[in-house]
Amino acid sequence: MIKQFVPQEACLQCQGCCRFKDMDSVWTPCLLEEEVQDLIDKDIPPAYINMQRKIRPVPSPKGEGFVCAFFECGSNKCKIYQTRPFECQLYPFLINLRDKKVVLTVDLNCPYVKENMRKKEFKEYADYLSAYLNSPKQLEMLKDNPQIIQAYEDVLDLIELKLPDAPE
């Protein structure tokens, strides 16, 4: 489990993450190969996972857009929070493809990031995450799971990751 930047009590309170305008939004979480198998082993219906190894969102009960299949709108909580996918653990930080480079970025729409990005704790966390993601084990994981490297907009580039043979 990745050390978290956004405290659990602040997470999911902004009405932003886990909600999507479109069913095929770039923001829907991608799954690592082992996470796909883990969900299948836990009897999660395969219909919750699309062909691109992303969690397939479901129509929002409020009638606007879509929500993550694991998001409980009534309680505003994640049904699988303790075992949530890597990309969800990483959020509001993202692994972004920018000009053929793999870059650690942060979502500027996250209210917690907006409030804290100029603080020492933000820089310390970004340094921690950079070191973690640039470790040989994590670089290999990223190389083996190119689906989690997406092209996000409205993000702030923080640091380039040293991934050999970045996806095109």
Instruction: Parse the chain into domains and list their residue ranges.
Output: 19-84, 92-160
Listed in sequence order, the residues at least 6 apart from 41 whose beta carbon sits closer than 8 Å to its beta carbon are none
Tens digits of residue pLDDT in 111-137? 999 999 999 999 999 999 999 999 999
Give the mean model confidence (pLDDT) for residues 40-67.
Answer: 88
**pLDDT for 150 beyond 70:** yes
pTM over 0.85: yes
The confidence score (pLDDT) of residue 164 equals 65
As a whole-number percent, the residues of the chain with pLDDT over 90 amount to 57
DSSP secondary structure letter of residue 95: E
At 3, list the tokens: 């050390």
The confidence score (pLDDT) of residue 165 equals 60
At 72, list the tokens: 């409980």
**pLDDT for 166 beyond 60:** no
Q: Distance between alpha carbon 78 and the CA centroid of its chain, in Å? A: 13
**pLDDT for 107 beyond 60:** yes
In terms of residues, how long is the chain?
Answer: 168
Give the mean model confidence (pLDDT) for residues 65-90.
Answer: 89
